[in-house]
């Protein structure tokens, strides 16, 4: 009869029970084990005894026999001196290796697990560990702790790769407490005695006795088995999951796949357990209660412990991954996660993935900018895009709402923390990555809809080394091309090259609830909050939790891969609503939240039932995709009471299919209904032990949060409508005495007067840098300049060299002052002697409308005419397609047309005062070439044309306007003006 462990489990009684007893066997010592042990003994003998003996015999004592004198330092260095130095180094290396051997031997013989680290040893200690393990492999004490000599090369390679958790970095036991070590040693000693007894009774018993195994159980409800819980139940400490992982890493499982991630385990897999494991669910072989098929599976699995374990296979079997885990995807073949560091100054790592990782870009120095924003490329891109839209909206409202559009044309220039935050957004943002992520997800949704397939449930997305990996809750078949299966059937992968071939598609955003949590090595994790089967809890210090909540809220509110959503903030975030007033909603307390969510949960359940959908995902690929099933994400930072927590757990039980997600803060780390539990540490690490995740958390600290909000508040079009007019940031002397030393034409083709053209390839780079500085007379941070010129990153020395070349090219003024200087904040500024036509254009208009032109009609007319003559086309009309991409972050494309339109309107009014309609029409036509969509210009052109007294010209202009408007029709103001000037225009429109 099989001997079964009977000690009680130490884990939670609610954990999943092992319904199928799992057999265990003792590892059999083979002839190969004795060969390895003999070779290890010879190697240790040579390294520990032979090396010092050879040194003593061949070289002798390398150090001086007496105290060195001053003349000894002045002697010539001979070959013997050099050999003596090398001998000292070899003696030190031998001493370190010998110390490693002693430490590893003591740890192996005492059975306390992994030995303590010898300072500075590294590979030496790893070699000593393998040799000692091989030597002791023939004994039961070391057999269950070491992977064998054949694993040496594999272990060295594994130590060089980044992994999900520390468990995948360190084999064996890790820093167990004294009482646990003592218990482990006793259990191992008992196991050794039992194994020896079994060996005496016969080969079969020796092969199948003593070792304990556990079989991974299928999920029960939303609860999934995990190595952490197995270790908690059977080893008394969940942190010992690393031991189980190391015992089973890379061994072939019954379904043909291998364990490669501590967080990725599957039902039916077999886990060999440490010797001190105990509990009613553990079984030792032979066991009559185990079926012959299961006995054979475990017997075959046990044999993998005697063989060389190769690298983990990519792909695995057909079974699904543990659905509630967010494991990191494996690298594609041929992808080197660490490649590119030597050439970061040329191409960097920011755009290595569809949405960028941001972990290595511009990381050479702090340089005074908030790294929290620089290291969050998706968040920065969303904030920067939303800020640009807000500022454009403010410009248009100011132009359309003010007489002549003369108020508010210059947005306020940020300063202090707000300026630093804006610069950090410019440095860190990866809009191209956001665009690729959005197109990839929408393209996937469109392809599935074309095949009449529903969207799979996605728990997480990983952006890793140029690829996008979606982790599915369960296998969903073969993905549509160009998507491919990843490391197993629960991963769908899209390479960056395939993502770049996607075009915009008219379909709803399939996974708008994805939000960045942090990075691990070269991978960025996005969690799909609306798909988690329950609550996601976050514990840690209040300030750290608040920074994570603020980052999540800000990215959800401004990201570029969602259409519509509601984000409810409770317990924080009242000041965040200016980021996206249409998305963010703040509630005062949890009572209001529960009342609101109870009503919405009922409504969504009813709507899904009426529509015949299983979940919101099927609705997003149907005919009503643009009007329904937007997610509602709840961020509750305050600790709920026990009663409120239970009510939230009930609401969240069915939230995944309803498109509702809950992220709840907790002080204790325990929350009813929490499907995923995370902790933010004071060091900025985001830990989720049950998921096997240890991330560098993405956070938005309070200082940066206030600075970002200030940027949005200052750009609010409805803020202080009667406030003062913002003057241009830089006014030039437009008299003859103000002739500049360097003059650049930006409005139209790019030309520079007053400087020699640089030679070689640097010419285009210097021209682009000067254009950026001319558009920002308030100053440009060096990191902003570098990120604009090298979007994928650049090293500090390359950036400094560019600044010096630019300073040398611009030269100095006659008084010796360099034309490229640095202000008190470290930002690069241009001298007043370096001027652009845009500076002159602003100055002429300002002087005409607010300076000398106010009191002199003749001066006003001359200044406005001179200003309009400067307009030769759009900004930087002949710029190369592969440069000046930073202009997408600017609002100059909105400000310049509005400025030109204001000049045209002002000059038209100037001429109409004297009934010079043709001159007014000429001025308006000139302005329309730069601002063809400005409704104000067309309306003024109608008035000027009507002033000619020729109804036919007005009718022809009206027909032209109707043709331009297309299906949208004319704007209401234009229609009203046509009704006034040409009442019969509608008859002509109907006839046409």
777-790 confidence digits (pLDDT tens): 989 999 999 999 99
Q: What is the mean pLDDT of the chain?
A: 76
Is the predicted pLDDT of residue 320 greater than 60, yes or no? no
Element (H, E) at 919: helix 917-928
pTM of the full structure: 0.65
Is the predicted pLDDT of residue 409 greater than 80, yes or no? no
Residue 367, token pair as written in the block? 């340089």
Which pLDDT belongs to residue 461? Answer: 93
Residue 477, token pair as written in the block? 């078949």
Give percent of the chain with pLDDT exceeding 70.
74
Q: Furthest-apart CA pair in the chain: how many Å? A: 120
Is the predicted pLDDT of residue 423 greater than 70, yes or no? yes
* Sequence-ordered alpha helix ranges (H) in 525-589: 542-558
Q: Mean pLDDT, to the nearest integer, of 585-614?
A: 85
Do residues 677 and 653 make contact, with C-beta atoms less than 8 angstroms apart? no
Residue 506's nearest CA partner among 386, 621, 618, 632 is 621
Residue 805's nearest CA partner among 849, 769, 778 is 769
Which pLDDT belongs to residue 161? Answer: 34
Confidence of residue 726 (pLDDT cuts 50, 70, 90): low
Residue 328, token pair as written in the block? 């990191």
Residue 536: φ, ψ to 5°:
-100, 120
Which pLDDT belongs to residue 984? Answer: 80
Q: Mean pLDDT, to the nearest integer, of 526-541?
A: 90
What is each CA distance from 80 to 60, 68, 891, in whole angstroms?
12, 16, 71
Residue 756, token pair as written in the block? 């020699």
Of 908 and 727, the structure prediction assigns the larger pLDDT to 908
Rounded Cα–Cα distance for residues 507 and 468 (Å): 20
219 φ/ψ sector (left φ>0, alpha ψ -120 to 50, else beta): beta
Strand partners, 812: 818
Which pLDDT belongs to residue 331? Answer: 56
pLDDT tens, residue by residue, 263-319: 667 777 888 888 888 876 676 655 556 667 677 777 778 777 655 444 333 333 333
Residue 48, token pair as written in the block? 């520990």
Question: Measured in Å, how far apart are the chain's first and last C-alpha atoms?
Answer: 97
What is each CA distance from 666 to 612, 670, 687, in whole angstroms?
37, 7, 14
What is each CA distance from 584 to 167, 566, 711, in whole angstroms?
39, 6, 17
The 10 Å Cβ neighbour count of residue 857 is: 12
Rounded Cα–Cα distance for residues 728 and 513 (Å): 41
Q: Mean pLDDT, to the nearest integer, of 541-551?
A: 93
Which pLDDT belongs to residue 684? Answer: 92
* CB burial of residue 819 (10 Å; 0-12, 13-18, 19+): buried
Confidence of residue 240 (pLDDT cuts 50, 70, 90): confident
Is the predicted pLDDT of residue 160 greater than 70, yes or no? no
What is each CA distance from 479 to 291, 463, 483, 493, in whole angstroms?
37, 18, 6, 9
Rounded Cα–Cα distance for residues 465 and 664 (Å): 31
Give percent of the chain with pLDDT exceeding 90.
27
Q: Mean pLDDT, to the nearest integer, of 674-691?
A: 88
Is the predicted pLDDT of residue 966 greater than 90, yes or no? no
Confidence of residue 834 (pLDDT cuts 50, 70, 90): very high
The 10 Å Cβ neighbour count of residue 703 is: 13
Residue that has been written with the tokens 């099927």 in this structure? 618
């Amino acid at each position: 009869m099989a001997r079964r462990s009977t000690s009680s489990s130490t884990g939670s009684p609610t954990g999943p029970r092992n319904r199928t007893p799992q057999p265990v066997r003792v590892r059999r010592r083979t002839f190969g084990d004795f060969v390895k042990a003999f070779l290890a003994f010879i190697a240790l003998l040579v390294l520990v005894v032979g090396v010092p003996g050879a040194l003593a015999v061949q070289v002798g004592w390398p150090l001086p026999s007496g105290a060195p004198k001053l003349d000894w330092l002045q002697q010539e260095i001979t070959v013997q001196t050099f050999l003596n130095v090398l001998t000292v180094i070899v003696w030190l290396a031998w001493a370190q290796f010998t110390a490693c051997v002693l430490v590893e031997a003591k740890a192996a013989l005492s059975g306390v697990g992994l030995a303590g680290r010898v300072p500075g040893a590294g590979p030496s200690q790893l070699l000593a560990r393998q040799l000692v393990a091989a030597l002791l492999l023939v004994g039961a004490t070391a057999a269950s702790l070491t992977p064998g000599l054949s694993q040496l090369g594999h272990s060295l390679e594994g130590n060089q790769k980044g992994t999900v958790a520390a468990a995948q970095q360190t084999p064996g036991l890790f820093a167990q407490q004294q009482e646990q070590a003592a218990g482990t040693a006793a259990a191992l000693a008992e196991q050794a005695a039992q194994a020896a007894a079994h060996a005496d009774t016969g080969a079969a018993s020796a092969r199948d006795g003593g070792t304990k195994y556990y079989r991974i159980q299928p999920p029960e409800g939303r609860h999934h088995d995990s190595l952490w819980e197995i270790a908690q139940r059977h080893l008394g400490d969940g942190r010992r999951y690393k031991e189980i992982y190391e015992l089973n890493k890379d061994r072939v499982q019954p379904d043909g796949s291998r364990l490669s991630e501590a967080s990725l385990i599957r039902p039916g897999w077999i886990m060999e357990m440490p010797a001190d494991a105990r509990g009613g669910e553990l079984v030792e072989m032979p066991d009559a209660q185990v079926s012959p098929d299961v006995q054979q599976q475990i017997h075959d699995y046990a044999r993998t412990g005697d063989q060389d374990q190769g690298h983990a296979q990519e792909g695995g079997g057909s079974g699904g991954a543990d659905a509630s885990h967010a494991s990191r995807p494996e690298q594609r073949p041929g992808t080197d996660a660490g490649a590119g560091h030597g050439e970061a100054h040329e191409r960097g790592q920011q755009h290595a993935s569809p949405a960028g990782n941001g972990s290595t870009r511009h990381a050479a120095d702090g340089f005074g900018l908030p790294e929290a924003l620089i290291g969050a490329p998706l968040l920065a891109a969303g904030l920067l895009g939303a800020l640009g839209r807000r500022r454009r909206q403010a410009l248009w409202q100011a132009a359309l709402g003010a007489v002549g559009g003369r108020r508010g044309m210059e947005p306020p220039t940020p300063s202090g923390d707000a300026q630093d935050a804006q610069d950090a957004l410019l440095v860190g943002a990866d809009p191209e990555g956001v665009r690729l992520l959005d197109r990839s997800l929408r393209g996937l949704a469109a392809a599935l809809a074309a095949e009449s397939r529903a969207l799979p449930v996605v728990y997480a997305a990983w952006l890793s080394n140029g690829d996008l990996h979606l982790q599915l809750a369960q296998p969903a078949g073969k993905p549509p091309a160009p998507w491919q299966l990843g490391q197993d059937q629960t991963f769908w992968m899209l390479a960056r090259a395939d993502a770049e071939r996607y075009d915009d598609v008219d379909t709803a955003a399939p996974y708008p609830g994805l939000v960045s949590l942090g990075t691990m090595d070269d991978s960025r994790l996005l969690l799909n909050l609306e798909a988690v089967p329950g609550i996601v809890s976050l514990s840690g210090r209040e300030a750290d939790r608040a920074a994570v909540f603020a980052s999540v809220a800000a990215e959800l509110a401004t990201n570029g891969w969602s259409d519509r959503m509601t984000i409810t903030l409770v317990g924080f975030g009242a000041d965040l609503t200016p980021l996206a007033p249409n998305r963010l909603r703040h509630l005062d307390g949890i009572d209001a939240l529960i009342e609101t969510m109870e009503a919405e949960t009922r409504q969504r359940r009813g709507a899904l039932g009426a529509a015949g959908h299983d979940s919101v995902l099927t609705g997003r690929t149907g005919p009503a995709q643009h009007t329904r099933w937007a997610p509602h994400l709840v961020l509750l930072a305050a600790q709920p009471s026990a009663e409120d927590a239970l009510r939230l757990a009930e609401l969240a039980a069915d939230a995944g299919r309803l498109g509702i997600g809950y992220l709840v803060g907790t002080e204790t780390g325990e929350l009813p209904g929490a499907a995923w539990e995370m902790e933010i540490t004071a060091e900025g690490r985001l830990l989720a032990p049950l998921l096997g995740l240890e991330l560098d958390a993405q956070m938005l600290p309070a200082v940066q949060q206030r600075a970002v909000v200030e940027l949005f508040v200052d750009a609010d079009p409805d803020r202080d409508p009667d406030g003062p007019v913002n003057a241009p940031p830089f006014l030039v002397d437009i008299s003859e005495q103000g002739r500049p030393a360097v003059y650049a034409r930006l409005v139209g083709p790019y030309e520079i007067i007053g400087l020699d053209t640089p030679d070689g390839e640097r010419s285009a780079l210097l021209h682009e840098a000067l254009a950026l500085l001319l558009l920002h007379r308030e100053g440009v941070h060096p990191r902003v300049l570098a990120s604009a010129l090298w979007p994928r990153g650049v090293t500090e020395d390359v950036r400094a060299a560019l600044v010096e070349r630019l300073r040398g090219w611009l030269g100095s003024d006659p008084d010796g002052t360099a034309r490229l200087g640095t202000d008190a904040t470290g930002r690069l500024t241009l001298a007043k002697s370096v001027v652009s036509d845009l500076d002159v254009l602003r100055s002429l208009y300002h002087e005409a409308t607010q300076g000398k032109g106010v009191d002199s009609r003749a001066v006003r007319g001359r200044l406005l005419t001179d200003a309009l003559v400067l307009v030769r086309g759009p900004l930087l009309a002949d710029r190369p397609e592969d440069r000046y991409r930073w202009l997408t972050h600017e609002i100059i494309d909105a400000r310049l047309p509005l400025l030109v339109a204001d000049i045209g309107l002002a000059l038209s009014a100037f001429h109409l005062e004297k009934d010079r309609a043709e001159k007014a029409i000429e001025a308006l036509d000139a302005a329309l070439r730069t601002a063809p969509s400005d409704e104000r210009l067309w309306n003024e052109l109608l008035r000027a044309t009507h002033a000619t007294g020729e109804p036919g010209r007005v009718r022809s202009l009206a027909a032209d306007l109707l043709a331009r408007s297309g299906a949208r029709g004319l704007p209401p103001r234009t229609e009203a003006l046509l009704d006034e000037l040409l009442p019969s225009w509608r008859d002509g429109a109907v006839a046409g």
